[in-house]
Amino acid sequence: MTEAAPMTDTAERPAKPHLPDAQIVTAVTHWTDRLFSFRVTRPRSLRFRSGEFVMIGLMGDTGKPLLRAYSIASPAWDEELEFYSIKVPDGPLTSRLQHIQVGDEIILRPKPVGTLVHDALLPGKRLWLLSTGTGFAPFASLLREPETYEKYDQVIMMHTCREVAELEYGRQLVASLEGDPLIGEMVAGKLHYYPTTTREEFHHRGRVTDNLSSGKVFADLGLPKMNPAEDRAMVCGSLAFNVDVKTLLEGFGLREGANSEPKEFVVEKAFVGDGI
Ligand SMILES: Cc1cc2nc3c(=O)[nH]c(=O)nc-3n(C[C@H](O)[C@H](O)[C@H](O)COP(=O)(O)OP(=O)(O)OC[C@H]3O[C@@H](n4cnc5c(N)ncnc54)[C@H](O)[C@@H]3O)c2cc1C
Ligand SMILES: NC(=O)c1ccc[n+]([C@@H]2O[C@H](COP(=O)([O-])OP(=O)(O)OC[C@H]3O[C@@H](n4cnc5c(N)ncnc54)[C@H](OP(=O)(O)O)[C@@H]3O)[C@@H](O)[C@H]2O)c1
């Protein structure tokens, strides 16, 4: 697949929203022909925990809102909200959402929920963030959250895509962290970024599951094998990915937790369905 350089469109002064629950698009970046990110104004009343998701969408042809679940990719302290999205060619929402431009309105229901939050994990030494594709989105929020580095000695971000261009949003985000005035110093020496591809040449290859089960990632990063006393994990990918990673983590002795019962790992689907 050949990709053009990411195209960004930004607005300095968003206009006022018109519809109830409407927010104004302030920036759009197209990363590949199937991935884009965008930023919108943030409702003053919206409080959320980094890692949570909300329902967003557009007005449907029938006059009813067409809404889908989306992880908030920006951290809880950010003045705006960021989202990282797939473009499904015939997807009811994203076939239209992919054409949004700065100044357009989207609908955002301000009721954040989700399990990929710090509160759902018991205290630990290392935090593993394990994702494929747009499953990176909740971790884009958590990687920019100071609490992530206050709570853990080491943070390991594993992200796997088929092709190199699909890693670019995550790569640029991670690269921006060390220079970030808020968390730059906290990140230094703590964050290990481990991106891999499965269907294109790259310096690191292979599925997250294979790199964990073979022990390659532990050897590459000089870390001990995962264990329930020290390691915590958050998982976000396709259903098949989540199922396979869960089995592996349980094999390392970690147990799945929830908001109501914090344990050693938590899981959330990056999307519902088997594939496009
Ligand atoms: C908790 C949760 C959080 C989510 N967060 C995000 C997010 O941050 N970013 C995002 O792009 N999507 C996210 N999704 C998926 C999102 O809700 C929609 O499915 C997606 O926007 C496509 O909408 P659609 O109406 O165009 O197509 P849909 O009818 O919703 O989906 C059509 C098909 O496209 C495939 N598909 C849908 N979403 C994806 C995806 N993200 N990656 C690969 N294949 C996909 C599936 O096979 C699905 O059956 C999330 C879903 C859940 C359940
Ligand atoms: N990515 C593209 O360029 C592209 C283009 C057009 C259409 N699509 C379609 O879009 C849908 C989603 O594609 P996607 O690439 O976003 O997601 P995906 O198929 O879930 O793959 C994303 C990454 O996760 C890996 N993976 C998949 N299942 C796994 C599992 N059970 N355990 C561990 N790792 C796993 C894949 O490795 P493997 O490569 O080893 O499977 C790949 O590196 C698919 O139906 C696809 O046909 C994709």
CA of 275 to the centre of ligand 2 (A): 8
Does the 118-269 domain belong in CATH 3.40.50.80?
yes
Nearest to 74 by CA among 65, 83, 66: 83
Ligand 1 neighbours by CB, cut-off 6 Å: 53, 68-71, 84-86, 88, 91-95, 133-134, 137, 268-276
Tokens coding 233: 């994990």
pLDDT score of 182: 85
- pTM to 2 decimals? 0.95
Task: Please state, in angstroms and rounded to a whole number, the distance separating the CA atoms of residues 86 and 75.
Answer: 20
How far apart CA 246 and CA 239 sit, in angstroms, is 10
Separation of CA 63 and ligand 2 centre (Å):
34
Asked if 212 and 108 count as a contact pair (C-beta separation under 8 A), the reply is no
Which numbered ligand comes closest to the C-alpha of 239? Answer: 2
CB of 209 sitting under 6 A from ligand 2? yes
* DSSP 8-state class, residue 78: -
Q: How far is the CA of 271 from the centre of ligand 1 (A)?
A: 4
Angular region, 166: left φ>0, alpha ψ -120 to 50, beta rest: alpha
Strands 7-10 and 22-32: antiparallel
Rounded-to-integer distance, Cα 259 and Cα 246, Å: 17
Give me the half-sphere count of Cα atoms (radius 13 Å) on the Cβ side of residue 245: 28
Query: What one-character DSSP code corresponds to residue 203?
Result: S
Region for residue 36 given its phi and psi (left: phi exceeds 0; alpha: psi -120 to 50; beta: otherwise):
beta
Atom of ligand 2 nearest to the CA of 199: 39
d(CA 26, CA 19) in angstroms, rounded, equals: 17
Atom in ligand 2 nearest the alpha carbon of residue 275: 45
- Alpha helices in the chain, H assignment, sequence order: 94-97, 137-142, 146-151, 168-177, 184-187, 208-213, 216-221, 239-251
Q: Write out the CATH class of domain 7-112.
A: mainly beta
**What does the pLDDT read at residue 61?**
87
| pLDDT tens per residue across span 63-117 | 899 999 999 999 999 999 999 999 999 999 999 999 999 999 999 999 999 999 9
- What is the percent of the chain where pLDDT is above 90? 88
Rounded Cα gap, residues 67 and 54, in angstroms: 10
Residue 145 Cα distances to 18, 116, 117, angstroms: 31, 13, 11
**1, 32, 132, best to mutate for ligand 2 pocket (most atoms within 8 Å of CB):** 132
Tell me the sheet residues that pair with 10.
27
CB 6 within 8 A of CB 168: yes
- When computed from its CA atoms, the radius of gyration of the chain, rounded to whole angstroms, is 18
Q: Whose CA is nearest to atom 53 of ligand 1?
A: 271
pLDDT for the residue numbered 1: 38
- Summarised one tens digit per residue, pLDDT across range 135-194 is 999 999 999 999 999 999 999 999 999 999 999 999 999 999 989 988 999 999 999 999
User: What ranges do the domains of the chain cover?
Assistant: 7-112, 118-269
CA of 94, closest atom in ligand 1 = 26
